[in-house]
Homo-oligomer: A and B are copies of this chain.
Amino acid sequence: MFFKLLSVMELQDILDEIPALDHEEVDLDEALGRVLSRDIFSPEDLPPFSRSTMDGYALRARDTFGASESEPALFTLDGCVSMGSMPDDIFIRPGGAVRIWTGGALPANADAVVMQEYVSALDQATIEVFRAVAPFENVIQQGEDIRSGEQVLEAGTRLRPQELGLLAGLGITSVPVYRKPLVAIISTGDELVSPRQKPGAGQIRDINTTTLSALCREAGARVTALGIARDAQHELRSLCNTAVEKGADVILVSGGSSVGRRDFTLEVFESLPDARVLAHGVAVKPGKPTIVAVSGKSIFFGLPGHVASAIVVFYLFVRRALLGLGGQRQSTDLPGATARLKRNISSASGRQEYIRVRLEKDSRGVLWAEPVFGKSGLIRSLVRSDGLLVVPRDCEGMDQGEVAEVILLR
């Protein structure tokens, strides 16, 4: 079977078509970072009554018109508004005022609050006001924040602290969200052992399972790590079946950077029920040997074995698929940073290239990117990196001082 290399954007477009998972209802306290599966409409006005935003005196704005430092207006003081109750018994007559605090409910026929800084008490029943206020000054009117029946949040919104605050304010304490994708992670290779095992001669500990699990969790997914498949097709096929039985939405198989293993991973993917291979090779460096296939409702990724390459493929494609499955509108994803290059870099790969960089702010607040060199098999170079700098596909390099986009490795 022959595949032409897809461009980064072609594969991203394919992955963007994957529909979101089904949804579930979660308590507001568990909803941080989750993605709304339905639009939310407000059941009520917020605030539910007109409130003062200052400590001061509620009155009729028109009675203050013309008041100034030199010609204060006199008001008759008529009690005070208790916090947490409606001042139903208070009626502001012309020239009357009541004491009110921040958050207090405005009496029915008051329409403004004058700050206490502009008021002086003549006696217990009379105050002088030194400044005119406009109608609704220092007041948040009933429904000014949100009107009953209004749409307040859209399906596809990732819930940040402030969205949770809004929902709490409206008394919405459980919310419909998309189910979190479940990712099964498989490493392949006769040379690999678990990090908890002592490697024998010629063996090495599996780095990818730990790294990819953490990346998936950061992207809002749940993870089941299935361990290591030996270099035998039936082992990989059996672990892929286990993944599907466990309900995995996404299966990551890493270790196929070697040509032999890549073919082998492809063959296993092709043998899955109703398998459809979406990509076999992508014009990206590192990450060219990436394989993507669909079987049933599961998406299978074959990732490079070198961890630095696997991370690039994760950020470009796997993360995107996970956000899509989780229902997140891509536009709500984090903005990447931009930084200036600290030195010239060459790129003659004919592929979009991702360079590990260390970021540093200079005294003027400008972000600079210093390439971190190192073979892609070295985990150390990733630990030294703050981001992946994007070198566009058809450029032969970039110059010192040039501005480039950076995917942040948080």
Q: Which residues of A contact B (CB under 8 A)?
A: 28-29, 32, 46-49, 51, 53, 55, 82-88, 101-105, 116, 140, 144-146, 152-153, 160-173, 189-192, 195-215, 217-218, 231, 257-261, 305-307, 311, 334-335, 337-338, 359, 361, 365, 367, 375-380, 382-383, 385-386, 405, 408-410
Contact = CB atoms under 8 A, between A and B. Distances in A.
A211 B164 contact: yes
Contacts of A383: 152-153, 162-163, 166
Nearest to A201: B86
B104 A166 contact: no
Contact of A165 (B169, B200, B307, B335): B307
Nearest to A225: B29
A101 B255 CA distance: 12
A205 B169 contact: yes
Which among A28, A201, A408 has the greatest number of chain B C-beta atoms within 10 A?
Answer: A201
A88 B162 contact: no
B102 A32 contact: no
A377 B53 contact: yes
A382 B165 contact: yes
B104 A191 contact: yes
Contact of A28 (B195, B199, B203): B195
A380 B208 contact: no
A83 B311 contact: no
A195 B207 contact: no
A191 B377 contact: no
Given A160-B409, A162-B307, A168-B209, 17 more contacts: A29-B213, A46-B379, A51-B204, A53-B306, A84-B190, A84-B202, A86-B201, A103-B258, A103-B305, A140-B375, A160-B214, A161-B211, A161-B215, A164-B211, A165-B379, A171-B196, A338-B367
